[in-house]
């Protein structure tokens, strides 16, 4: 799905070998530098990769295209770095000894790293909400960073603060359905499309510190006037057995 989505922005991927996949991904990262879709493609690309875990089994590194890979950072920042240093020291001294608890240590390190990442995300979100409390009612340009059946997320370009535009707030414009393969919400009558990577304008509605939640509202702009019909091929197809929603009649001006 990610490769198909990236192709919508004109990026090509060679999936013939892990090495070619890595080359294509790195080329895409270079090509999107400075473009609106940069953050979305980077985030989505990372999300589609399996979360790395520490293990004693040498399984290589798919993203880098390496058959042999060992985690190592300098300066030392994690406990796994210390474990690797100890092994290297043993090799250099020609006194390496099997550690029967090494796999258990790897599992523990993986669990702690996931917990640390969750804590980091929670902390970042809290500070985002705290900051945006001063901008309730103000409008900002943003990029759609995620889409779900119940709405879409927007990250402001100026502050990099992500909030939710609920589908209930879009009800006055149209009835929207999720198109998973396109990472988009599509209006059943108008064909209006909200897709990951699209640039939109939002208004800050609320900032709840207890829930670490930002609520935005989509702001209609002149890019597509109300009532404007999109091209026929852009209209979504209804599933069998479902009736097309009736168009609401506009009140005539007196």
As a whole number of angstroms, the distance between CA 3 and CA 12 comes to 8
How crowded is residue 145: how many other Cβ atoms within 10 Å of its Cβ? 19
Q: Among the ranges 19-33, 132-146, 183-197, which has the highest mean pLDDT value?
A: 132-146
Kindly report whether the global pTM for this prediction surpasses the value 0.75: no
As a whole number of angstroms, the distance between CA 140 and CA 157 comes to 8
Taking 80 as the threshold, does the pLDDT of residue 222 lie above it?
A: no
Q: Which pair of tokens denotes residue 63?
A: 């993203």
Residue holding tokens 């057995």?
Answer: 241
- Burial (CB < 10 A; 0-12, 13-18, 19+), residue 71, is middle
Q: Which pair of tokens denotes residue 216?
A: 């935005």
- What is the rounded average pLDDT for all residues in the chain? 83
Instruction: Tell me the residue length of the chain.
Output: 254
Taking 70 as the threshold, does the pLDDT of residue 215 lie above it?
A: yes
Question: In the chain, what are the domains?
Answer: 1-49 (no CATH), 71-134 (no CATH), 136-234 (2.40.50.140)
How crowded is residue 206: how many other Cβ atoms within 10 Å of its Cβ? 15
3-state class (DSSP) for residue 26: helix
Q: Between β-strands 176-179 and 213-218, what pairing exists: parallel, antiparallel or unpaired?
A: unpaired
Lowest mean pLDDT: which of 60-69, 169-178, 197-206, 218-227? 218-227
Summarised one tens digit per residue, pLDDT across range 113-133 is 999 999 999 999 999 999 999
Lowest mean pLDDT: which of 32-36, 214-218, 220-224, 244-248? 244-248
Element (H, E) at 178: strand 176-179
As a whole number of angstroms, the distance between CA 30 and CA 42 comes to 11
């Amino acid at each position: 799905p990610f490769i198909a989505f990236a192709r919508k922005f004109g990026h090509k991927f060679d999936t013939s070998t892990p090495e070619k996949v890595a080359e294509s991904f790195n080329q895409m990262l270079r090509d999107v530098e400075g473009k609106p879709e940069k953050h979305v493609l980077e985030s989505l690309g990372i999300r589609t990769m399996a979360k790395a875990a520490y293990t004693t089994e040498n399984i290589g590194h798919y993203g880098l295209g390496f058959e042999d890979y060992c985690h190592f950072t300098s300066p030392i920042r994690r406990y796994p770095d210390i474990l690797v240093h100890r092994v290297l020291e043993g090799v250099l001294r020609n006194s390496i000894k099997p550690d029967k608890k090494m796999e258990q240590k790897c599992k523990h390190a993986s669990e702690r790293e996931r917990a640390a990442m969750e804590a980091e995300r929670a902390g970042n979100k809290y500070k985002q909400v705290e900051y945006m409390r001063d901008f309730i009612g103000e409008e900002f340009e943003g990029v759609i960073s995620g889409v779900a059946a119940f709405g879409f997320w927007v990250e402001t370009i100026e502050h990099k603060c992500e909030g939710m535009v609920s589908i209930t707030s879009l009800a006055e414009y149209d009835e929207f359905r999720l198109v998973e393969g396109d990472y988009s919400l599509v209006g059943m009558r108008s064909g209006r499309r909200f897709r990951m990577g699209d640039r939109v304008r939002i208004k800050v509605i609320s900032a709840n510190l207890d829930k670490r939640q930002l609520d935005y509202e989509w702001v209609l702009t002149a890019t597509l006037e109300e009532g404007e019909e999109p091209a026929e091929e852009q209209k979504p197809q209804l599933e069998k057995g479902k009736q097309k929603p009736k168009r609401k009649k506009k009140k005539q001006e007196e």
